[in-house]
């Protein structure tokens, strides 16, 4: 199997299979599972923080292109994902009745995180197929904003080892796969709660991991250019994931379950990630 084939297979397992497993778990849970999903999401957020802080950023710095360039790449990653999320929210939020001026400025339920509530509104109004298609594309885009940066980290790590799937890239793929299980739950639970069949919801959830493969190819091609490309790829992916963790996953986990437990769950995720990276 060639370099690209190995990368795509590894990323498919981490993205599609990991997300699909989360979808199955979500399908087996009761609808009222906010506590469980909140703790798992915050745990996943902690895992991703370990990946960013103890692996990706340090590897970007080791390219020796300059600390300023790495910081700029991280900042650009944060800004781009924030802007894209903002544009999606500005388009969809006015169409969802319960999201008004009193609503928290971040998602407080899973259907808001993936914008399935927006799609449900179109179904409820019995809108035409074009409107439903556009709403589906918006939901897919919201999910892709989480998955593409994850794939970029695997692809960039792969490129940094000259196209060899070494232990570092494999560890990263395992961590991404671990992170994707709660993410898969975050997709399947609201779809099932909205009335979709369990099997269909699980299939859609697994397919939502496909953008991870696209991100891996982007990360590899950019990282393969040279030290500058690798630093930019790693930095951008790090910034994107930092925004997803601090701007979406952790705030939502706390809003879904008002307790200090999500904080401890995030810390546990960081420690698990740290152990896997350096063990």
Summarised one tens digit per residue, pLDDT across range 94-112 is: 888 888 888 888 877 778 8
What pLDDT sits at residue 170?
75
Q: How large a percentage of the chain has pLDDT more than 90?
A: 28
Q: Please check the confidence at residue 21 and state whether its pLDDT lies above 70.
A: yes
What pLDDT sits at residue 166?
60
30-34, 61-65, 109-113 — most confident range: 61-65
* Residue that wins the pLDDT comparison between 269 and 141: 269
Q: Please check the confidence at residue 165 and state whether its pLDDT lies above 70.
A: no
Mean pLDDT of 249-276: 92
Question: Cβ(19)–Cβ(209) under 8 Å?
Answer: yes
Q: Please check the confidence at residue 70 and state whether its pLDDT lies above 90.
A: yes
Q: Please check the confidence at residue 31 and state whether its pLDDT lies above 80.
A: no
Question: Cβ(267)–Cβ(46) under 8 Å?
Answer: yes
CA distances from 234 to 7, 42, 62 (A): 16, 23, 11
Mean pLDDT of 267-271: 95
Average pLDDT, the chain: 86
Question: Cβ(141)–Cβ(150) under 8 Å?
Answer: no
Cα–Cα distance, 220 to 44 (Å, whole number)? 24
What pLDDT sits at residue 272?
92
Cα–Cα distance, 94 to 177 (Å, whole number)? 34
Name the least confident of 27-41, 90-104, 217-231: 27-41
Mean pLDDT of 130-136: 82
Cα–Cα distance, 265 to 72 (Å, whole number)? 30
Name the band, by pLDDT with cuts 50, 70 and 90, for residue 46: very high
57-71, 149-163, 219-233 — most confident range: 57-71
What pLDDT sits at residue 177?
86
Cα–Cα distance, 86 to 93 (Å, whole number)? 10
Nearest to 47 by CA among 260, 237, 245, 258: 245
Mean pLDDT of 172-188: 84
Q: How large a percentage of the chain has pLDDT more than 70?
A: 95
- Residues 6 or more apart from 17 whose CB is under 8 A from it? 177, 206, 209
Name the band, by pLDDT with cuts 50, 70 and 90, for residue 129: confident
């Amino acid at each position: 199997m060639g370099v690209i084939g190995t990368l795509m297979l590894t990323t498919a397992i981490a993205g599609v299979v990991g997300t699909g497993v989360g979808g199955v778990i979500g399908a087996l849970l009761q609808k009222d599972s906010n506590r469980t999903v909140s703790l798992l999401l915050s745990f996943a957020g902690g895992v991703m923080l370990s990946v960013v802080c103890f692996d990706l950023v340090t590897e970007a710095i080791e390219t020796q292109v300059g600390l300023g360039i790495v910081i700029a790449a991280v900042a650009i990653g944060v800004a781009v994902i924030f802007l894209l999320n903002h544009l999606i929210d500005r388009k969809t939020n006015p169409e969802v009745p319960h999201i008004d001026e009193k609503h928290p400025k971040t998602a407080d339920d899973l259907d808001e995180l993936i914008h399935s509530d927006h799609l449900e509104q179109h179904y409820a109004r019995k809108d035409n197929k074009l409107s439903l298609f556009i709403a589906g594309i918006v939901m897919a885009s919201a999910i892709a904003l989480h998955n593409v940066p994850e794939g970029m980290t695997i692809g960039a790590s792969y490129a940094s080892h000259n196209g060899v799937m070494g232990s570092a890239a494999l560890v990263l793929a395992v961590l991404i796969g671990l992170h994707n299980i709660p993410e898969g739950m975050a997709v399947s639970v609201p779809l099932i709660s909205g009335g979709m069949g369990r099997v269909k919801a699980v299939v859609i959830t697994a397919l939502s991991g496909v953008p991870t493969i696209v991100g891996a190819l982007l990360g590899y091609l950019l990282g393969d250019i040279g030290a500058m490309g690798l630093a930019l790829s790693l930095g951008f992916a790090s910034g994107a994931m930092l925004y997803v963790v601090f701007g979406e996953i952790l705030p939502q986990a706390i809003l879904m379950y008002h307790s200090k437990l999500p904080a401890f769950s995030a810390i546990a995720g960081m420690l698990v990630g740290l152990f896997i990276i350096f063990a």
